[in-house]
């Protein structure tokens, strides 16, 4: 059984701690991850901007890298939804590539989806005595359909004070290149999101996608809003360690 | 005149909107109310997803056989005594209208709400001929007084607050009117009543055209459409060629979906069905009924696997109300008649001037809220990507962007190049990093860093630390439980079966 980690380019280059937390947490269930080094990026930045030739290049690397993996797990709902939702469109005119794209899609999972849906875990045994709010990223929740999994996991964390985020499902304004191309609209959107986070008085904002978290976190940091921003894998792993220490 | 302003760029229009707090507050307030109401209405009906799927199937079927149903509709309407005209462009639609006006020696027109009439700019053409044209839908009346265009498909004056409306009406009244909804509505009603009685022509839009009986169906909340279609002697109805439904049974589904999606109402207040001109036994209705069926770029979408579904739209406005971009910039920023996600698709798709409208498809984060809201499940977020792709393929993107994407392609084409790019990036960022962040507002980081700080590349990428981590994990690795093992094998095994089939 070969279970592979797809770090995603964002976590690989900017937030290695996220993939690390995921690998450490999964090790507690005996999941021995492999890291096929041929992986680069899922292709979203190019795909969403309309550069399909460039996106295909990235997609082929990914399909190649995970060819003999049985499972592929990534700390991003957005990249996994890219594979599920858009790879078939990308390769629609080539039956052989289309088949391989579908094979990859079938075995690819977002982190919380894998933990809850495949491993059947809803309580990782964590303890996290903080006030936490959660932003559901659009692609993971709407396109991939990962809605309940993170909430299930959070609800079982001991001492965690969960506050729902007002208008949680509204997009944070990241949208990949949108944040640069349509910077003014994006700024308005992320400011509104940061305002909603402030309303919750949460100490921690948690999510499943570093793109959105980098956006909201960057906004909050810029205006001096002291909220810790964490990927769910980080929160759960830190919580598990905390529970271990106490035991 | 604000609204259609082809000379300005998207960025300029967006800036104007973002600096207009009145507009942003008004739009936020109303869209928030509408989408909350919609959600409640969808929950109340229970099996909303099934209704959506039924709606989608009806629209898919209708558009797939549009030629057949259009012919059936036209034949039935003619049999009932109506006149049917086909206009392949906006100009043709205007010319046909003016011909009818001339034949009737019309001096004045009352209109009920019609987006397609906005699309062909009929008001302007009528005014140029010296024909008085009065919008009778309250929202349309407001923006007509303001000299503007609709900024929302169903709430044309969504960007105006009560005080602004009071100001406009006070000017017409010649005396100050209070910013009170009841007073303002009463004023408009009294003003408009006279116009209804005087008008030579009544112009309406069309929510649905029923093929099996040749009927026009109008949904309205104010009853003005009913006046427009009963009082004047001649009626002209403009409809986009895709407004067709095969049967009354199909209308039932749409009558369930449309008001709920638009405003959260279970039913529209008035639903009028017009089956041809007045017959001798009828108490009211026009002597002459003309229906102008307008193409204007629509038939080009037929047979296009990427865009045919856009013709399924029933113009409910739910995607606008759900859209986080629309909420901040309102409708005029999109630049043409239709706004929000459906506008961002229709504008570049229906218009022939591709260059001019290429950018509009960028006004979306592709968050998918539009798709989720759409009662007939149009994948607008996918269509926006298709438009962007055509912009790339047909050379309508910026050179700097193309260069950037070329570089991206090289970087992702092999993990060696990718790693090299990371290394170069780390060297490049060195002088700029402060406390793990890059605060500079130079180059491509400007837009981002104006309101945010950008994270720096990690000192060691994940792949660089993987070997050490893997070794460490081997020490801590827990025993896999038999349940987990069985589950993993079972799921993977199922996939194998499927591939062999
Ligand atoms: S695209 Fe869908 S949600 Fe938007 S106006 Fe049309 S029918 Fe309504």
Q: Mind listing the pLDDT tens digit for each residue in A30-62?
A: 999 999 999 999 999 999 999 999 999 999 999
> Distance, CA B262 to ligand 1 centroid (Å)?
9
Report d(CA A89, CA A86) in Å as an integer: 5
Q: What is the DSSP secondary structure assignment for residue A14, as one 8-state letter?
A: T
CA distance B120 to B238: 10
Torsion sign, CA atoms B423, B425, B431, B434: negative
**Nearest in space to A102 (alpha carbons), one of B498, B384, B386, B378:** B498
Question: At B285, is the secondary structure helix, strand, or coil?
Answer: coil
Q: Residue A143 — φ and ψ, nearest 5°? A: -85, -40
Q: Note whether A40 and A71 are same-domain residues.
A: yes
Residue nearest to atom 6 of ligand 1 (CA): B313
Q: Are B324 and A170 in contact (CB under 8 A)?
A: yes
For range B261-279, the mean pLDDT:
90
H or E, element range at B220? strand B215-220
Burial track B86-97 (b if 16+ CB lie within 10 A, e otherwise): ebeebebbbebb
Sequence-distant (≥ 6) Cβ neighbours of residue B250 within 8 angstroms: B58, B62
Q: Judge whether A123 lies within some domain.
A: no
Q: How many of the other CB atoms lie within 10 Å of CB of B257? A: 26
**CA-to-CA separations, B306 to B30, B139, B238, B240, B387, in angstroms, rounded:** 32, 34, 27, 20, 9
CA distance B289 to B282: 14
* Whether A113 and A137 share a structural domain: no
> Element (H or E) spanning A197, and its range?
helix A183-200
Query: What is the reported pLDDT for B483?
Result: 93
pLDDT value, residue B496: 60
User: Of A86, A118, A150, which residue is a domain's last?
Assistant: A118
Q: Measured in Å, how far apart are chain B's first and last C-alpha atoms? A: 63
Whether residues A112 and A170 share a domain: the answer is: no
Could you say which DSSP state residue A158 is in? Answer: B
Sign of dihedral through CA atoms B397, B366, B240, B242? positive
Which residues between 260 and 319 in chain B have a beta carbon less than 8 angstroms from any beta carbon of chain A?
none
**CB distance A77 to A212 below 8 Å:** no
Contact (CB<8Å) A29/B448 = no
Q: In the beta sheet, which residues pair with residue A231? A: A207
Reported confidence tier of residue B4, pLDDT bands at 50, 70, 90: low
Provide the percentage of residues in chain B whose pLDDT is more than 90. 85
Q: Is the pLDDT of residue B285 over 90?
A: no
- Same domain for A113 and A147? no
Whether the predicted interface score ipTM is above 0.85? yes
| The dihedral sign for the CA sequence B58, B64, B67, B68 | negative
| Residue range B102-117, pLDDT digits in tens | 999 999 999 999 999 9
A126 in a domain, yes or no?
A: no
Q: At what angle do helices B181-198 and B138-146 cross, to 10 degrees?
A: 90
Closest CA to A233 of A110, A72, A108, A62: A110
Tally the domains of chain A. 2
CATH superfamily of B38-301: NagB/RpiA/CoA transferase-like (3.40.50.10420)
> How far does A130 lie from chain B, in Å, by closest CA?
24
Is residue B6 pLDDT above 60, yes or no?
no
Partner residue opposite A118 with nearest CB, options B408, B451, B491 = B491
Q: Are B367 and B381 in contact (CB under 8 A)?
A: yes
Cross-strand pairs, B109? B133, B201
| Residues A83 and A33 reside in one and the same domain | yes
Positive or negative CA dihedral for B144, B145, B147, B150? negative
In which domain, by residue range, is A203 found? 131-246
The mean pLDDT of A203-207, rounded to a whole number, is: 98
Q: Which of A118, A152, A172 lies at the terminal end of a domain, its last residue?
A: A118
For B36-49, the pLDDT digits (tens) are 999 999 999 999 99
A126: its two tokens: 């964590």
- What tens digit of pLDDT does each residue of A113-146 get? 999 999 999 999 999 999 999 999 999 999 999 9
What pLDDT score was predicted for residue B231?
85
User: What is the residue-averaged pLDDT of chain B?
Assistant: 93
**A95 and A26 together in one domain:** yes
**What confidence tens digit (pLDDT) does each residue in B119-162 have?**
999 999 999 999 999 999 999 999 999 999 999 999 999 999 99
The per-residue pLDDT for B499 is 46
Integer Cα distance of A130 and A204 in angstroms: 7
Alpha-carbon gap, residue B358 to A182, rounded angstroms = 14
Using a CB-CB cut-off of 8 Å, the residues of chain B touching A54 are 405-406, 408-409, 412
Q: Which residues of A touch B36 (CB under 8 A)?
A: none
Q: How much is the average pLDDT of B389-405?
A: 95
Domain boundary among A118, A151, A173: A118
Judge whether B369 and A169 are in contact, CB under 8 Å.
yes
User: B229 or A100: whose pLDDT is higher?
Assistant: A100
Nearest CA to ligand 1 atom 4: B319
Is A180 close to B14, i.e. CB distance below 8 A? no
The pLDDT of residue B443 is: 78
Average pLDDT, chain A: 97
Contacts of B360 (CB under 8 A, 6+ apart): B10, B334, B335, B336, B343, B344, B347, B348
Pairing assessment for the beta strands A3-5 and A33-34 based on DSSP bridges: parallel
pLDDT confidence of residue B497: 52
- B289, B81 in Cβ contact below 8 A? yes
Domain containing residue A212: CATH number: 3.40.50
Residue B1 has pLDDT above 60, yes or no: no
Checking if the pLDDT of A171 tops 70, the result is: yes
User: Which residue is closest in CA terms to ligand 1's atom 3?
Assistant: B374
**Distance from C-alpha of A54 to C-alpha of A45, rounded to nearest angstrom:** 9
Nearest CA to A48 out of A144, A210, A180, A219 is that of A180
Residue A22 included in any domain: yes
Same domain membership, residue A163 and residue A91? no
| pLDDT score for B5 | 53
User: Does position B343 have pLDDT exceeding 60, yes or no?
Assistant: yes
- Name B217's bridge partners: B208, B273
Q: Which residues of A touch B446 (CB under 8 A)?
A: 183
- Please name the member of B369, B411, B473 whose beta carbon is closest to the beta carbon of A171: B369
The HSE-up count of residue A218 (CA atoms within 13 Å, CB side) is 29
Beta carbon pairs, A and B, within 8 Å: 234
CA–CA gap between residue B486 and residue B400 (Å, rounded): 52
In Å, how far are A26, A71, A104, B346 from A4, measured between CA atoms? 11, 6, 12, 42
Query: In chain A, what residues touch B468 (CB-CB under 8 Å)?
Result: none
Write out pLDDT tens, residues B432-449: 998 889 988 877 788 899
pLDDT category at B281 given cuts 50, 70, 90 is confident
Mean pLDDT of B238-254: 98
Answer with the residue of higher pLDDT: B229 or A127.
Answer: A127
Going from the Cα of B38 to the center of ligand 1, the distance in angstroms, rounded, reads 13
pLDDT, position B107: 96
Query: Is 80 exceeded by the pLDDT of residue B2?
Result: no
C-beta of residue B163 within 8 angstroms of C-beta of residue B179: yes
Residue B278 has pLDDT above 90, yes or no: no
Same domain, A78 and A143: no
- In this prediction, residue A83 carries a pLDDT of 98
Over the stretch B296-341, which tens digit does the pLDDT of each residue have?
999 999 999 999 999 999 999 999 999 999 999 999 999 999 999 9
* Among the listed residues A177, A150, A192, A245, the one whose alpha carbon sits nearest the alpha carbon of residue B363: A177
Check if B476 contacts A (Cβ < 8 Å). Answer: yes
pTM, two decimal places: 0.95
């Amino acid at each position: 059984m070969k279970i592979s980690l797809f770090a995603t380019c964002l976590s690989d280059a900017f937030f290695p701690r996220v993939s690390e937390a995921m690998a450490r947490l999964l090790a507690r269930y005996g999941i021995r991850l492999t890291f096929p080094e041929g992986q680069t990026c899922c292709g979203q930045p190019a795909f969403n901007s309309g550069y399909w030739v460039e996106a295909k290049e990235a997609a082929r690397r990914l399909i190649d890298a995970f060819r003999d993996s049985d499972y592929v797990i990534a700390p991003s709902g957005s990249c996994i939804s890219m594979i599920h939702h858009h790879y078939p469109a990308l390769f629609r005119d080539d039956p052989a590539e289309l088949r391989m794209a579908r094979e990859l899609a079938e075995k690819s999972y977002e982190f919380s989806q894998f933990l809850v849906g495949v491993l059947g875990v809803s309580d990782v045994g964590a303890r996290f005595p903080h006030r936490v709010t959660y932003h559901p990223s659009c692609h993971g929740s709407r396109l991939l359909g990962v809605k309940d999994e993170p909430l299930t996991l959070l609800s079982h964390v001991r001492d965690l004070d969960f506050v729902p985020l007002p208008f949680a499902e509204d997009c944070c304004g990241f949208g990949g290149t949108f944040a640069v191309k349509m910077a003014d609209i994006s700024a308005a959107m992320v400011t509104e999101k940061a305002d909603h986070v402030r309303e919750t008085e949460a100490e921690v904002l948690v999510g499943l996608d570093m793109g959105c978290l980098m956006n909201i976190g960057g906004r909050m940091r810029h205006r001096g809003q002291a909220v810790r921003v964490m990927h769910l894998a980080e929160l759960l792993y830190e919580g598990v360690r905390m529970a271990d220490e106490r035991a | 005149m604000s609204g259609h302003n082809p000379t300005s760029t998207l960025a300029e229009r967006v800036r104007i909107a973002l600096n207009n707090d009145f507009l942003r507050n008004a739009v936020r307030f109303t869209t928030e109310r509408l989408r909350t109401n919609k959600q409640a209405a969808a929950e109340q009906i229970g099996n909303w997803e099934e209704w959506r799927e039924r709606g989608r199937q009806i629209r898919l079927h209708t558009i797939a056989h549009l030629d057949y149903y259009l012919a059936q509709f036209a034949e039935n309407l003619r049999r009932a005594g109506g006149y049917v005209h086909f206009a392949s462009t906006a100009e043709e639609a205007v010319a046909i209208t003016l011909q009818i006006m001339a034949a009737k020696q019309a001096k004045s027109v009352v209109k009920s709400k019609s987006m397609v009439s906005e699309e062909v700019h009929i008001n302007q053409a009528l005014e140029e001929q010296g024909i008085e044209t009065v919008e009778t839908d309250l929202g349309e009346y407001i923006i007509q007084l303001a000299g503007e265009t609709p900024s929302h498909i169903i709430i044309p004056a969504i960007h105006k607050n009560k005080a602004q409306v009071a100001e406009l009406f006070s000017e017409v009244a010649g005396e100050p009117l209070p910013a009170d909804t009841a007073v303002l509505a009463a004023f408009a009603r009294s003003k408009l009543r006279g116009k209804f009685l005087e008008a030579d022509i009544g112009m309406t839009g069309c929510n649905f055209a029923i093929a099996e009986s040749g009927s026009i169906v109008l949904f309205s909340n104010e009853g003005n459409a009913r006046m427009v279609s009963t009082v004047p002697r001649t009626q002209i109805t403009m409809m986009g060629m895709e407004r067709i439904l095969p049967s009354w049974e199909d209308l039932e589904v749409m009558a369930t979906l449309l008001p709920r999606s638009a405003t959260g109402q279970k039913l529209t207040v008035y639903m009028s069905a017009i089956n041809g001109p007045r017959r001798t036994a009828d108490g009211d209705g026009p002597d002459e009924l003309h229906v102008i069926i307008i193409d204007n770029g629509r038939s080009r979408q037929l047979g296009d696997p990427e865009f045919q579904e856009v013709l399924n739209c029933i113009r409910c406005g739910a995607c606008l109300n759900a859209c986080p971009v629309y909420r901040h910039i309102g409708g005029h920023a999109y630049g043409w008649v239709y706004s929000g996600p459906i506008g961002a698709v229709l504008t570049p798709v229906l218009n022939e001037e591709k260059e001019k409208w290429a950018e509009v498809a960028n006004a979306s984060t592709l968050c998918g809220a539009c798709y989720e809201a759409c009662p007939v499940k149009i994948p607008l977020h996918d269509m926006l990507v298709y438009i962007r792709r055509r912009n790339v393929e047909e050379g309508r993107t910026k050179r700097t962007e193309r260069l950037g994407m070329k570089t991206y392609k090289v970087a992702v084409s092999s993990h060696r190049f990718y790693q090299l790019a990371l290394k170069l990036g780390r060297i490049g960022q060195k002088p700029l990093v402060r406390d793990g962040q890059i605060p500079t507002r130079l180059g491509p980081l400007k837009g981002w860093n104006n309101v945010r700080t950008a994270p720096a590349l990690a000192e060691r990428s994940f792949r660089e630390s993987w070997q050490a981590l893997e070794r460490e994990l081997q020490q801590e690795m827990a025993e896999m439980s038999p349940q987990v093992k069985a589950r993993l094998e079972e799921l993977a095994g199922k996939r194998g079966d499927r591939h062999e089939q």
